[in-house]
Amino acid sequence: MEKPLKIQEEVKEHFQFRLVHVDKNSGARAGEIITPHGVIPTPVFMPVGTHAAVKALQPKMLEEMDTKIILSNTYHLHLSPGSDLVAKAGGLHKWMGWDRPILTDSGGFQVFSLQGNSITEEGSTFKDHKGKKILLTPETSIGIQQNLGSDIMMAFDECIPYPADRNYTKNSIDRTHRWLDRCIASWTNPKQALFGIIQGSIYDDYRSECIQEVCSRDLPGYAIGGVSVGEGPELMEKIVSYTAPLMPKDKPRYVMGVGNPEDLLMIWENGIDMSDCIIPTKFARGGTVFTNRGKIRIQHKNYRRDFFPLDPTLDDYVNKNFTRSYIKHLFDSNEILGAILVTQHNISFYKSLAERAREAILEDRFLEFKKEFLEGYMKKNQA
């Protein structure tokens, strides 16, 4: 196909991946993703801004924390306000006041997660929150993402549920590969990189088949999909540890929807560069704080007279200026500032974890870093 081959060459002028170093004792990698809106050191964790906003935070706060990239949701922005409006506003970056990289998902996860969906060769039909039927196809997904103007677009696929038998999985991945070619044929903006998604459920042979099919399209990057869908940590590790080493070494590797710190360390050890999840922000709004000594529930009575920072090992705005006692008071008083401060802290914690992992990779001590972190983090969580 002449047009896809042309676009795949043109995108290389705007999007590159540079592999900086591989830890000599593991598969962990440090790299750089170069986009039109900035350079992203890897490994990186991407905060989720579903509706073009990371809940509870201003874009300026994210910039002050030096957040490199955020993720927004194609399906939800299609429902409201509509991608045509965002395009008229100058694209997602201008509209939301964020001039750093943005990744948009394809809507494929909604195929998995929303009730009342049906999948055909054309695409997926499902009901929105008001009961209205929505048809999402490879062409409409790419069209929406191009209207949004994200730096990285995801191909439209089916996120295979767990459990799924071999027959279901085979039919699904074959259709996803056909959908991928339709995504490529609809891709017209070389300033936006298109990533393919590797599915295959828990079956090594189907994961291998997907790698061969998807990576034969020579796309700017690739993701592992269909994990963190209920299969549990042992099967997740089995899928990632099998799949990641078979992916191209010269392209970014992304695991979708993984966000527990222990799981991030596992995927990074296996050579993954990117991940995203709602966990740090969603948990923050409920009062769960991530620290280097495990998770804490800030509403617990023990913190009423605790005048230490949320995490004394971190030197950021929240930990330099506020105590556990004060933040517990904010939650007890139903003050929105509590959710803001814990969200800010959790994102800072995740960013610090990725930065420390990158430093360890560059110094060939990632496994030592992982062991030391988990010894503290995985002890019985605090109150």
Q: In what order do the strands lie in the sheet with 16-22?
A: 16-22, 29-35, 38-42
Sign of the C-alpha dihedral computed for residues 174, 179, 182 and 186 taken in this order: negative
User: What is the DSSP track for 295-359?
Assistant: EEETTSGGGTT--S-S-TT--SHHHHH--HHHHHHHHHTT-HHHHHHHHHHHHHHHHHHHHHHHH
Output phi, psi for 258, to 5 deg.
-110, 130
Catalytic-role residue among 151, 263, 273, 276: 276
Q: Is 219 exposed, middle or buried (0-12, 13-18, 19+ CB in 10 A)?
A: buried
Among 62, 160, 142, smallest CA distance to 104 is for 142
CA distance 341 to 355: 21
Output phi, psi for 114, to 5 deg.
-90, 145
CA distance 222 to 237: 18
Catalytic-role residue among 23, 105, 151, 157: 105
Clarify whether 273 is annotated catalytic. Answer: no
Clarify whether 205 is annotated catalytic. Answer: no
CA of 94: how far to CAs of 69, 155, 191, 193, 333, in Å? 15, 23, 16, 19, 36
Q: Which residues pair with 288 in a beta bridge?
A: 297
CA distance 300 to 286: 12
Token pair, residue 253, equals 């590797």
Token pair, residue 129, equals 């929150």
Location of structure tokens 């296996």: 270
Catalytic residues: 105, 276
